A and B are shown apart, each in its own frame.
Chain A
Amino acid sequence: MGSISLQHVKKSFGEVQIIPDISLDIKDGEFVVFVGPSGCGKSTLLRLIAGLEDTTSGTILLDGQDMTKAPPARRGLAMVFQSYALYPHMTVRDNIAFPLKMAKAPKEVIDQKVEYAARTLNLSSYLDRRPRALSGGQRQRVAIGRAIVREPKAFLFDEPLSNLDAALRVNMRLEITELHQQLKTTMIYVTHDQVEAMTMADRIVVLNAGNVEQFGSPLDLYKKPANRFVAGFIGSPRMNFVDGPEAAKHNAHSIGVRPEHFKLSRDPLANAWKGKVGVAEQLGSDTFLHVHVEGLGLMTIRTDGDQTFSHGDDVYLMPDPTRIYRFDAAGIAL
């Protein structure tokens, strides 16, 4: 079991309020991602759940039990750190066995669990090495191994992939997702990368300045962003925003159109926006066009890779009328 519930959790460091007031309910077995720009309080929130920081006020329940004041060692959670935080003076085997030793498990149990974890994570042939003799990906797996053997109520991941190179990151992303499907244990995963959030999460918590902007499934967030911040944060490339008279035509303070929701033409279209191509980024499968639209500014457009545009081409943009997001003056979705 591993349900986690935050009730009116607040956190300040001295005068600085990091988390004004957050309430969340995470179900047992769920994969929840905290995502947001740096400094949004997502790591602090994770550390509050872990017990590495005190809440200023509010309650944290684990499986319905009040754990607000419990030290980290008693909460039964496991954490994978951004730096992996492996014990450099211990072998891989001892690293993975450490939580079990702390729990005073009998030796046979320790051996058996370490072997099992090592096999699952393809670490069997590295068990007697020290962490410094391992590659980044292997270290990452040791850190996960150390978390698995505890059989925790929930796993906490603090930006675990940010120190890996791009190719490895995609790989580990899949491995962690697969692990979740295998173990079915609650996981909370902190990242600033919205692609990681979209691909891995059952549900995403979008945080901004210590507030929950939206909590929902990846597709909910993509299709029905609650506000302009979420709309801009989720989706890649970013949503294009337009203010002023053009937005007023749609009875909104501002409107947003995703790059993939445009009809694009070289020939004039009725009611279309006219612009000039600035940079064309050709990825092969897709092409991203950065178009300077008269009176509206720079727009990013996604089109298929077969289209060839070059700098200075005149183009006409027609937003898909069913896919226009409308926001009021406070940025709330209409």
Chain B
Amino acid sequence: MATAQTRTLSRIMMAPAVIVLLIWMIVPLVMTLWFSFQNYSLINPMMTGFAGWANYIYVLGDPSFTQSLVNTLILVGGVLAITVIGGTFLALLLDQPIWGQGILRIIVISPFFVMPPVAALIWKNGFMHPGYGVLAHLFEFFGLEPVDWFNQYPLFSVVIIVAWQWLPFATLILLTALQSLSEEQREAAEMDGANAINRFYHIILPHMARSITIVILIQTIFLLGIFAEIRVTTGGGPGYASTNIAFLVFRTGILSNDIGAGSAGGVVAVVIANIVAFFLMRAVGKNLDA
């Protein structure tokens, strides 16, 4: 409700934001689509012209694509499993009456603020290095053979690093949701004779369901684009063992200078992200009027 004057004014006030985002959304996306149907390689500038589906056939048909797709799914799925289950557990624990709750919150959230390359480097050199990493020392202490994590289990190692970064996020959001559950509701359940496990399944879990959905969706958006952690630790290798779609596009388009094929991979990444985005938008949109 407002007057015509305020409405005109509000259009003017919104214009810069709308224009900037409109350009950002349309121009590069149209270019990516265009390139994906072109022969365009910076290595071989003689080859130009319309390529038809060739780039898509090349990208989708290459074994590295299949492997990257599988790796992406493992990466996203693995991190989601660890962070959601671990986050629920941690949130429940932090919500108990404990000493130093405020400080604990701060300690637990900390890994989230560590920039991805630093997180990757700490784990790579400080913890997972087969020679002098903390884990190697621990293994030796128990008389075990140290593991060369990034060569033997490259994808698993990346999953661990990323999960470490995102576990705090899941915990913080689930804890916030948990704390919004009214004490009265819990007490009512207790009065009704529900034990701790019943309370968890019938009161707490349904209350947290929406927040868990949101955690999953938001994390998925970010996890699909995991890049720095791979670049800094394994470089996508050995071979393609730890290359995800995002890194594959980077490898093809920027490192190998094949703009056409890289763009085709980019379009595929957009399609995958849109499927996730569709569900996220519905979850967030429902809450808009509340």
Whether the Cβ atoms of A13 and B3 lie closer than 8 Å is no
In the complex, A54 Cα to B3 Cα: how many Å?
A: 5
In the complex, A13 Cα to B7 Cα: how many Å?
A: 14
- Which residues on A sit within 8 Å (CB–CB) of B15? none
A158 nearest CB across to chain B (Å): 14
B5 interface contact, C-beta 8 A: yes
Whether the Cβ atoms of A71 and B1 lie closer than 8 Å is no
Interface of A, secondary structure class, is: loop
B73 nearest CB across to chain A (Å): 47
In the complex, A13 Cα to B5 Cα: how many Å?
A: 16
In the complex, A13 Cα to B4 Cα: how many Å?
A: 12
A9 nearest CB across to chain B (Å): 14
CB neighbors of B among A60-84 (8 A): 71
* Besides A53-B1, A54-B4, 10 new A-B residue pairs in contact (Cβ under 8 A), listed by A number: A13-B1, A51-B3, A52-B1, A52-B2, A52-B3, A53-B2, A53-B3, A54-B3, A71-B3, A71-B5
In the complex, A54 Cα to B4 Cα: how many Å?
A: 7
In the complex, A54 Cα to B1 Cα: how many Å?
A: 9
- Which residues on B sit within 8 Å (CB–CB) of A52? 1-3
CB-defined A-B contacts under 8 Å, sample of 7: A13-B1, A51-B3, A52-B1, A52-B2, A53-B3, A54-B4, A71-B3
- Which residues on B sit within 8 Å (CB–CB) of A54? 3-4
CB neighbors of A among B1-35 (8 A): 1-5
- Which residues on A sit within 8 Å (CB–CB) of B5? 71
B250 nearest CB across to chain A (Å): 49
Residue of chain B at shortest CB distance from A71: B5
B140 nearest CB across to chain A (Å): 61
CB neighbors of B among A1-26 (8 A): 13
Residue of chain B at shortest CB distance from A51: B3
B24 nearest CB across to chain A (Å): 32
CB 8 Å contact bits of B34-75 with A (1 = contact, 0 = none):
000000000000000000000000000000000000000000
B284 nearest CB across to chain A (Å): 26
In the complex, A71 Cα to B2 Cα: how many Å?
A: 11
In the complex, A53 Cα to B5 Cα: how many Å?
A: 10
Residue of chain A at shortest CB distance from B3: A54
In the complex, A54 Cα to B5 Cα: how many Å?
A: 9
In the complex, A52 Cα to B1 Cα: how many Å?
A: 9
In the complex, A197 Cα to B20 Cα: how many Å?
A: 53
B4 nearest CB across to chain A (Å): 5
Residue of chain B at shortest CB distance from A55: B3
A72 nearest CB across to chain B (Å): 8
- Which residues on A sit within 8 Å (CB–CB) of B1? 13, 52-53
A83 nearest CB across to chain B (Å): 15
Most buried by A among B2, B3, B4, B5: B3
Residue of chain B at shortest CB distance from A47: B1
Q: Which 4 pairs from chain A and chain B are nearest by CB?
A: A54-B3, A54-B4, A71-B5, A53-B3
Residue of chain A at shortest CB distance from B1: A53
